[in-house]
Structure 1
């Protein structure tokens, strides 16, 4: 395996796609990711396939759309019959390792009834070996902080947002309150340091998944990143005058805005503080990754390491009066993707930017193809290798697709408010350069003319002038779902002469 590629697969949780200075963002500074893009390929129209974390990462790690892996919510088990990139890489002799989390809910049929993984949705992806596993409970980090002499909250879940004493910005403070821990010892630094320690000690090709929490909430950053961006100067919010006016767009949106946890605060100074700190956490991640990239260069591994940087989903951050990730708006689904392929074949494409629509389901096929592994039939995505080598694929999708399953087995409020069954709490979305179509199982559809209305305020689904467009995009969505029905065994036929196997491309 001496000539095998290393892979560093990085996810930064909840990172909006436009928030890279390489894309001309008006405020966010990401010099190290910009430099990575200059040596790799930046995918400008990259989308998650589901939200929140668990469903999105199920798609990311299996290469499957939600309609096929069916892990639709945080806590929905991922069927053990599905393979993933870690299992497939292990077949070639790699030892896939994890720094952070994968939010994989384990299949209870495969676990002992007393298994601790049946009491949390934050289990590890099957096939991956956790080296420093951190999620809601950051035990490796907080145990290390204690050994280093730092105080840790009794409930260690609150360490991520443990703020220094003082007045908060919206209450009169000069800047947002910082994390109590210095940047050298916070959770981002801890995980990146553990990653570098592992690589330094490894004497064989590695595949490491670095899954960072930031810029995911809590929106609390260490100094100086807490004050790096002026809350008064952050870009404004794409929203109507009130959340009540916003909710008139659709019954689902009205319901979502009735839930205080997901509605942006009406205190403008607080919302601006959250956005400024959100940007600051991005810049902190960028700085930490810069240290990792410098380490790879100094240790001689840079020219043999495939680097993938992306996210699981975006963040509404006040747009349409929403916080978090949900629904159908681009802010929740458009995310960054940068891939640096060190192979000589990829040299000509370095520094290029791709305008074609790409999705998280494409990442597993890409990594597997580049290490010489077979791409499983289950994968709904396609390898990005042609783009990495400066070639245009013979066929490629013309739009992006995603799904949102808003059922909640523990809370039937959406069902009661919207007159739905639990299984009807779903929506499917298709969008291209011109239009976005949103189809609900049992609610009115939405159509946005993105050329006239890029911020998705005006639903034209009932405008007679758009009826041909509605029909076209509804048919496209139906064809997409039919084309991507689960197909694991459908290319096999049992005959008198034995099984006949004939794999075929999705498109």
Structure 2
């Protein structure tokens, strides 16, 4: 074992927790991801802090809940100065590098207020969530706001796809069409191949870029490589041969009940009425689209096989922790919903596999851990892996290292997720201003409770209704359960998470600090003075403290 400890942090976008063969999918085979699980630990109860890209990823990159870091939506900046993954790892000598997507929105106003040049080293640090952007590409580049210099777009133009200024859209995520390219955002073409070849598509391109970085490894500086795939996120369009590798017979049965449509919670009903929900509540359309999603996952698994072989040949698997996960899931018609944005398991639960070659983790290889894990646990795991101490006054999550070592430790008994729906097209129908458009989920082994100000709560009995079909939020027989979960949510919300400038160690040293300085408030005379208090020495100021 080399003393140098590297980390390969792989994230897929919109990959459901149950769309891997090691997680039980009956027709989608993912042998390379399965092999990773066989030499590591698969955490089967992993939840994201928000069921949407931006806020979820900011929790992954800060180790903090959404209400802590404040980036509550996809286009809400992460405030400048928020401790990010680079702030925690760079002082430990680790180089955090990005290949792919982060969905990070820089706090341009904050940097301007503080006089930070966005192009400076510190400006780039804040704008990229602490990563060194070896290749930053979030995938979705609308024609009218396309930023110049996106390398993948330039690559496609060099390959001859220069008929449109946004080849990401019109080449990689479109089909040929009868007369002109057809956008892959329309799911009726999901069974057709993308205009690009397999080699030219996003996943192989990003894999090659990751291998280019790994080939430049100097063998001395430890790195964290965040390989963040854009897929299988929509547009659900795959290159040949992945576009028709699966068919309707491979699609798993939809997970929904007519009960969910009988007097639903008014907020849940708004989600059921979205366009994506209408599309995927149609079985024919669902079965025509999901095979492309499965093909994109299969392509990721194939590319990971290539990547792992490359690393093995270079000896890089011998000292690299590999983490595989997703930023959220996808409803695909389950619970009569589409896309993500709400709190049923298809959207808020994600895969997580961690494999580390260190012999300290031999006892847990090939196991499945069902403890409650949250996205915020990733950063503290990396800090401990890099030899640091987790700053508990900043980080909300917990290091997974004890679980990886097989230690029997006290652990959390609930998970939290948050979502602000103010950008949803239906939000004006609620009559609520943006600050009021927020939702919270708390779940333990017995109950899942959803709180949305202005609406009745939702409650699911996970013991008797693990499918989350029957909402007990308005059932008078379950008032006690609702109170218990609401109090638990309130207790969580009252946690003190904003004293970032004083560590717990420093807080202990500050006990009686004013008395040490000779600030003797309420003392009667000199006889009241006892340690840590001391007589004030006004001649020398506060030197005695």
After TM superposition, the structure 1 = structure 2 runs for residues 59-138 of structure 1, keeping only pairs within 5 Å, are 59-112=59-112, 124-135=127-138, 136-137=140-141
Check whether the contact 1:71–1:77 (CA below 8 A) recurs between aligned residues: yes
**1:156–1:175 distance in 2 versus 1, CA, 3 Å:** closer
Deviation at 1:261, TM superposition (A): 4.8
- Counterparts of 1:298 and 1:404, CA distance in 2: 43
After TM superposition, the structure 1 = structure 2 runs for residues 18-57 of structure 1, keeping only pairs within 5 Å, are 18-57=18-57
- Counterparts of 1:247 and 1:423, CA distance in 2: 30
Check whether the contact 1:164–1:180 (CA below 8 A) recurs between aligned residues: yes
Deviation at 1:489, TM superposition (A): 4.6
The match for 2:173 among 146, 161, 164 is 161
Deviation at 1:420, TM superposition (A): 2.0
Name the larger-Rg structure.
2
User: Does 2:233 align with 1:216?
Assistant: yes
Measured against aligned partners, the alpha-carbon deviations of 1:149-168 in whole angstroms (never above 9, x if no partner) come to 45564333413412244799
Report how many residues are paired. 484
Deviation at 1:68, TM superposition (A): 0.8
Match of 1:367 in 2: 382
Match of 2:494 in 1: 482
Structure 2: unaligned runs, 5 residues or longer? 120-125, 142-148, 518-545
The match for 1:471 among 483, 492, 500 is 483
Deviation at 1:62, TM superposition (A): 0.2
**1:333–1:484 distance in 2 versus 1, CA, 3 Å:** farther
- Counterparts of 1:78 and 1:248, CA distance in 2: 38
Check whether the contact 2:281–2:333 (CA below 8 A) recurs between aligned residues: no
TM-score, scaled to structure 1: 0.89
Deviation at 1:474, TM superposition (A): 1.4
- Counterparts of 2:408 and 2:163, CA distance in 1: 52
User: Does 2:299 align with 1:288?
Assistant: no
**1:422–1:146 distance in 2 versus 1, CA, 3 Å:** closer
**1:247–1:328 distance in 2 versus 1, CA, 3 Å:** farther
Check whether the contact 1:412–1:422 (CA below 8 A) recurs between aligned residues: no
Check whether the contact 2:172–2:196 (CA below 8 A) recurs between aligned residues: no
Counterpart of 2:42 in 1: which secondary structure? strand
Match of 2:193 in 1: 178
The match for 1:227 among 216, 241, 244 is 244
Counterpart of 2:254 in 1: which secondary structure? coil
Check whether the contact 2:246–2:295 (CA below 8 A) recurs between aligned residues: yes
- Counterparts of 1:488 and 1:9, CA distance in 2: 26
Match of 2:394 in 1: 378
- Counterparts of 1:318 and 1:461, CA distance in 2: 22
User: Does 2:238 align with 1:256?
Assistant: no
- Counterparts of 1:329 and 1:106, CA distance in 2: 30
User: Does 2:444 align with 1:435?
Assistant: no
**1:39–1:447 distance in 2 versus 1, CA, 3 Å:** same
Check whether the contact 2:61–2:129 (CA below 8 A) recurs between aligned residues: no
Comparing 487-496 with 29-38, greater Cα deviation is found at: 487-496
Q: CA RMSD in A?
A: 2.7
- Counterparts of 1:152 and 1:375, CA distance in 2: 51
- Counterparts of 2:262 and 2:232, CA distance in 1: 27
Check whether the contact 2:17–2:23 (CA below 8 A) recurs between aligned residues: no
